[in-house]
Amino acid sequence: MRHKERPPSPSIDDLPQGQTLARYTAARLGGQADYLYIAKDPSYRDLMPLLDQAWARGMPVTVIGGGANILIADAGIRGLTIINRAAEISHEDEGDEAFVTASSGTNLIRLARYCQENGLSGMEWAIAVPGTIGGAVVNNAGAHGGDIASTMTRALIFEAGQGERWHGAEELDYAYRHSLLKGRADQRFFVMRAQFKLRPDDPHWIQARMERNNDYRRRTQPPGASLGSIFKNPPGDYAGRLIEAAGLKGLRVGSVQVSPIHANFFVNMHAEASARDYYELIRLVRDRVDAAFGIRLELEIQTLGEWD
């Protein structure tokens, strides 16, 4: 029997150039990528040689998952940009525990739903957190008292010059919305998969807890194009409370507004808004909160591309 031959891995020079990235981000903002690759195969067999090519050439690499935590400059991103859409989930039962493994392009909400459908408890916190597993592993995404650090056992990471290796969660230095990976600006690594430890439970109870989390979000967070919380909560306080107390709810730059519903959410109200407007609003809010309370808020989102 003849085996179907795999087509050769793509070369960076054959990739589409000048593609607009706004559609790949939750804020619907950002310029073009020099070179764009959309990963769809959860084995990442095509992606790994591409990453090696870029790293060997010294070309900058940017990985975008759901684009739910990044603000891309209007001038776009230099080098190779990867959009990670490779989704795959499986699980194995081991006595009183279950181990769920998902490829990094899997949507976090899809993973939470999978766990509910299979009667596995532990991911209820994730039911309304946008983005992919890759972004969540890097950011230590969390909500409703849970986070990646408390549910993930290990992550498979591909690194420049080192190939792929499983890293235990304890190696990633997790803290509130922080990991060792988030601190690394070089992007000479790619999170491929993550494994989570869950416990069997009745799907109806899991569903009830998820609905409670969803209800809370619907009541407290604005709809529309945003990046979720812009600033981290400072110790012992809330960024949203400080922004509101500084009288900044509803403040606008162009068509980007500090949400009147939740002051730590900045909403892009019209398609014609620019990333520059979003960035200016961030600067303005940070300066005014600093002037009012002497607290310099720290960004939770990440800015990509060049800003002056």
Residues tagged active-site: 177, 229, 300
Toward ligand FAD, which CB reaches closer, 145 or 294? Answer: 145
Write the DSSP string, 208-240. HHHHHHHHHHHHHS--SB--S-SBPPPTTS-HH
Toward ligand FAD, which CB reaches closer, 66 or 305? Answer: 66
DSSP state of 306: -
- Cα–chain center distance at 278: 18
Toward ligand FAD, which CB reaches closer, 79 or 119? Answer: 79
d(CA 163, CA 87): 21
Local structure of 7: helix, strand or coil? coil
Instruction: List the one residue from 71, 127, 172, 191 that touches ligand FAD (CB under 6 A).
Output: 191
Name the one range near ligand FAD by CB under 6 A: 51-59, 125-133, 161-169, 251-259.
125-133
Q: Map the footprint of ligand FAD across residues 19-58, applying CB under 6 A.
A: 26
Toward ligand FAD, which CB reaches closer, 38 or 143? Answer: 143
- 226 scored as a contact of ligand FAD (CB under 6 A): yes
Contact 160/94 with Cβ under 8 angstroms? no
Instruction: List the one residue from 86, 127, 141, 273 that touches ligand FAD (CB under 6 A).
Output: 141
Q: Tokens representing 172?
A: 């990633």
Local structure of 81: helix, strand or coil? strand
Side chain identity, residue 14: D
Instruction: List the one residue from 122, 228, 240, 305 that touches ligand FAD (CB under 6 A).
Output: 228
d(CA 70, CA 304): 7
Name the one range near ligand FAD by CB under 6 A: 6-14, 60-68, 94-102, 269-277.
60-68
Name the one range near ligand FAD by CB under 6 A: 88-96, 221-229, 270-278, 284-292.
221-229
Strand-by-strand arrangement of the 77-84 sheet: 17-20, 32-39, 77-84, 61-64
- 135 scored as a contact of ligand FAD (CB under 6 A): yes
Instruction: List the one residue from 67, 76, 122, 240 that touches ligand FAD (CB under 6 A).
Output: 67
Toward ligand FAD, which CB reaches closer, 253 or 267? Answer: 267
